Amino acid sequence: MAIEVGILGATGQVGQQFIALLATHPWFRTTWLGASERSAGKAYRDATAWRLPSPLPDEIAALGVDAATPGRAPKLVFSGLDSSVAGEIEGAFAQAGHIVVSNSRNYRMEADVPLLIPEVNADHLALLKCQSARGWKGRIVTNPNCVVVVYAMALAPLRQFGLETSMITTLQAISGAGYPGVPSWDILANVIPFIGGGEEQKIETETNKILGELQSGAVQNHPVAISAAVTRVPVHNGHTGSIAVSLRQKPDADAVIDAWRSFRGRPQELELPSAPAQPIVYLTE
* Cα–Cα distance, 256 to 240 (Å, whole number): 20
Task: Give the distance, in angstroms, between the CA of residue 205 and the centroid of all CA atoms in the same chain.
Answer: 15
Q: Which of 81, 85, 119 is nearest to 102 (CA)?
A: 81
Q: What phi, psi does 54 have (nearest 5°)?
A: -75, 145
Question: If DSSP codes are grouped into helix, strand and coil, which group holds residue 115?
Answer: strand
Which residues fall within 8 angstroms of residue 25, CB to CB, at 6 or more apart? 273, 274
* Cα–Cα distance, 43 to 35 (Å, whole number): 12
Residue among 98, 124, 222, 239 flagged as catalytic = 239
* Cα–Cα distance, 52 to 101 (Å, whole number): 22
Residue among 130, 146, 222, 236 flagged as catalytic = 146
* Cα–Cα distance, 87 to 104 (Å, whole number): 8
Distances in whole angstroms, Cα of residue 128 to Cα of each of 39, 137, 202: 32, 11, 22
* Cα–Cα distance, 167 to 245 (Å, whole number): 7
Radius of gyration for the alpha carbons in the chain, expressed in angstroms and rounded? 20
239 is catalytic: yes
Which residues fall within 8 angstroms of residue 268, CB to CB, at 6 or more apart? 119, 275, 276, 277, 279
98 is catalytic: no
Beta strands in 52-156 (DSSP E): 65-67, 76-79, 99-102, 139-142
Give catalytic residue positions: 146, 239
